[in-house]
Structure 1
Amino acid sequence: MDRAGVGRVCLALPGATLDHPFGDDHDAYKVGGKMFAIMGGMGGLSFKVSDIAFEILTGAGRARPAPYLARAKWVHLDDPADWPDDELAEHLAIAYSIVAAKLTKKARAALGLA
Structure 2
Amino acid sequence: MEKHILEDYCRNQPGAIHDYKIEWQADRYQVGGKMFAMFGGDSVGKPILSLKCNPERAEYLRESYEDIIPGYYLNKVHWNSIYLDADIPKELWEKLIIHSYELVFQKLPKKIQKEIGSRE
Report the TM-score, using the length of structure 1 for normalisation: 0.86
Select 1:84's aligned residue among 86, 89, 96. Answer: 89
Report the TM-score, using the length of structure 2 for normalisation: 0.82
Unmatched 5+ stretches in structure 2: none
- After the TM superposition, list the runs of 4 or more consecutive aligned residues in structure 1 that deviate by more than 3 angstroms: 22-25
**Which residue number corresponds to residue 107 of structure 2?**
102
Q: Deviation string for 1:27-70 (max 9, x for gaps)? A: 10111110011111542111001122111012334411012323
Structure-2 change in CA distance of 1:33 and 1:101 (3 Å): same
Note the 1:1-114 alignment, pairs <5 A: 1-22=1-22, 25-41=25-41, 42-62=46-66, 63-112=68-117
CA distance in 2, matches of 1:25, 1:77: 17
* Structure with more of its chain in strand, by fraction: 2
Q: CA deviation at 1:80?
A: 4.6
**Number of residue pairs aligned between Structure 1 and Structure 2:** 113
Is the CA contact 1:14–1:111 (under 8 Å) kept in the aligned structure 2? yes
Q: CA deviation at 1:77?
A: 1.2
Unmatched 5+ stretches in structure 1: none
CA distance in 2, matches of 1:19, 1:92: 17
SS at match of 1:112: helix
Is the CA contact 1:44–1:76 (under 8 Å) kept in the aligned structure 2? yes
CA distance in 2, matches of 1:69, 1:23: 14
